[in-house]
A = this chain, B = another copy of it.
C-alpha cells in the first residue's frame, strides 16, 4: 500500500517539514510504501497551464498510484496555505475515493484546527474521503528536539491510529 505524505507549505523555515518527516518514518515503520510529496516541487510557472502543464502531469502519476494520503499543513490566517491549494487543484479525478488523514501544525495552541475544517471541505470537493480524526501539532517549535525526534508519546499513538484508519478505509474503498 502506498500512502504518500503531502507537505503543504513551501515557506522558508517551515516547521511542518519536521512533522512530515515524523509521519513518513511512522508510515515506513508500519510497513507501507511512502514518500514526501513536497509542494515546493510543484511551483507553477507563469506560462504553465495549471491542469495540463508539466507539474500537473508529474503529480498525476504519484496521486494515481496512491491508496490514500496524509496531508501535513500549517494554518495561515484560519485557512490552508495557498501553495498547498494550488497543488491540490492541479488534478481532480485521481483523488477520488481515497482516504485523507490531516496533520495540522501551528505555533499557537490549536494545532491548525480551523485550517483542518476548511481543508476537509476541499478534500470532499476532490472526492477524497477525509478522516475525522486529525492529528494536531500545536506549539510545534517545542514539540521536536534538536535531532528532529518528537518528544510526545501521544503523537506516536495518534500516528498509529491514523495509519490504521487510512489502511482500513483504503482497503474497503478500493473495491
Number of copies: 4
Instruction: Check A83/B82 contact, CB under 8 A, given A113-B114, A172-B175, A175-B172.
Output: yes
Q: How many residues of A contact B (CB 8 A)?
A: 45
What residues of B have a CB within 8 angstroms of the CB of A76 in the complex? 85, 89
Distance in angstroms between the alpha carbons of A84 and B83 in the assembled complex? 10
Whether A85 contacts B80 by the Cβ 8 Å rule is yes
Which A residues from 85 to 103 make CB contacts under 8 A with B? 85-89, 92
Q: Report, nearest first, the 3 A-B pairs whose CB atoms are least far apart.
A: A82-B86, A82-B85, A77-B125
Given contacts A78-B121, A110-B110, A117-B117, 5 further A-B contacts (CB under 8 A): A78-B125, A82-B85, A86-B86, A109-B138, A114-B121
